[in-house]
Amino acid sequence: MASLPFFLCALLTFSSISFHGISAVNFEVINLNPQHAGAIKFEKIIGGVPFTKKLMAQINQYIWSNILKQNTAADQKPHTTVTLFIKDFIGGEAITWGDNYKYINVSAVYLRDYNGPMELKWEFISLLHHEMTHVFQWNGEGKTPIPLVEGIADYTILKANYFPPGFMKPGAGDKWDQGYDYTARFLEYCDGLVPDFVAKLNKMMRKTYDVSFFKNITGKPVEKLWADYKAKYAKKAVEEIQGPIEKSNLVIKELVKENDEEKERLNGVIAGLLAKKEKDKVDKDVMLNRMSQIEAMLTAMVQR
């Protein structure tokens, strides 16, 4: 019996250790306006507090494992608690704020009025992937440009396959730091050049930020990376256009060939008809000549 308290203590200690080091995060969810129509949707359609707490823990592990590759507590932000509020506010879908304790406000107004292409629960999961990335990513202690911060958050929903139908296609955008899905697609390209690019960039941004980080990781300045990225997808776009054009040309050639064959057949038919007409004309002339001869013979007989 004396060993039981030690066993329970060890069990509790083990349960507080995440799969990625001794950095257990507590998740709290509070519905501040339960009578609000959006808050009611949160409970009835999304799954309410129990579902959201479980979802936050799952997304936390996904971000550590697959996006930021933070496998030890030393690499991770030292958050002990992340609190999500369902709150009646206007001005956005959600906002993440706070310092040691991170807070996420999800707009009950947005949940109430959402009328997008996906189901509300899917949209909520996508939204939390984005906001939870802000909770755990480094931002150079405020020095990282906001478009890049948002681009990394959208990179998470891209890799998690929770990006909406209107998400930008590869190659879109006028500049690499256009933000959100534009930048997410560019980061995806960089990650294709250097595996774990986003994780490496995030690690370098722990205390500060400099655009030279792109060159440090890839060997190319960000301007060159962007130019290569645009060139790659411009070429692909041309190929995508040329493909249907070449196919159309083949169809046209086939139609022309078929048309030539049909034209030749029709010419044969016309020639046959003309030949028959000529023959009929000859036959008619012979018949008229014969009739003239008969008529002459009859006239001679009458005169006798």
What confidence tens digit (pLDDT) does each residue in 22-49 have? 458 999 999 999 999 999 999 999 999 9
Asked if the model's pLDDT at residue 21 lies above 60, the reply is no
Q: Per-residue pLDDT tens for 241-284?
A: 665 656 666 667 677 677 777 778 888 888 887 777 777 776 77
Strands ordered across the beta sheet of 94-98: 26-31, 81-87, 102-107, 94-98
Q: What pLDDT, on the 0 to 100 scale, is given for residue 136?
A: 97
Asked if the model's pLDDT at residue 54 lies above 80, the reply is yes
Half-sphere exposure of 44 (CA within 13 A, CB side): 10
Written as six digits, the tokens of 81 are 């608690």
- Left if phi > 0, otherwise alpha if psi is -120 to 50, otherwise beta: which for 175? beta
Q: What pLDDT, on the 0 to 100 scale, is given for residue 296?
A: 74
Question: CB atoms < 10 A from the CB of 209, how many?
Answer: 20
Could you give the CA distance from residue 253 to residue 238 in angstroms, rounded to a whole number?
A: 22
Mean pLDDT value of segment 283-290: 72
Asked if the model's pLDDT at residue 135 lies above 90, the reply is yes
Residue 214: pLDDT band by 50, 70, 90 thresholds? Answer: very high
- Left if phi > 0, otherwise alpha if psi is -120 to 50, otherwise beta: which for 104? beta
Taking the CA atoms of residue 273, residue 278, residue 281 and residue 283 in that order, the dihedral angle to the nearest 10 degrees is -100
Q: What pLDDT, on the 0 to 100 scale, is given for residue 270?
A: 83
Q: What pLDDT, on the 0 to 100 scale, is given for residue 273?
A: 78
Spans of all domains in the chain: 19-136
> How does the average pLDDT of the chain come out, rounded?
87
Query: Could you tell me what percent of the chain has a pLDDT over 90?
Result: 66
Window from 102-111, 181-190, 210-219, 273-282 with minimum mean pLDDT: 273-282
Mean pLDDT value of segment 140-166: 98
Mean pLDDT value of segment 159-182: 98
Q: What pLDDT, on the 0 to 100 scale, is given for residue 16?
A: 36
Amino acid sitting at position 95: I
Q: What pLDDT, on the 0 to 100 scale, is given for residue 140?
A: 96
Question: Alpha carbon of 59 to those of 13, 25, 238: distances in Å?
Answer: 22, 12, 38
Question: Alpha carbon of 235 to those of 193, 206, 222, 232, 278: distances in Å?
Answer: 18, 36, 20, 5, 62
Mean pLDDT value of segment 193-211: 98
CATH classification code of 19-136: 1.10.390.10
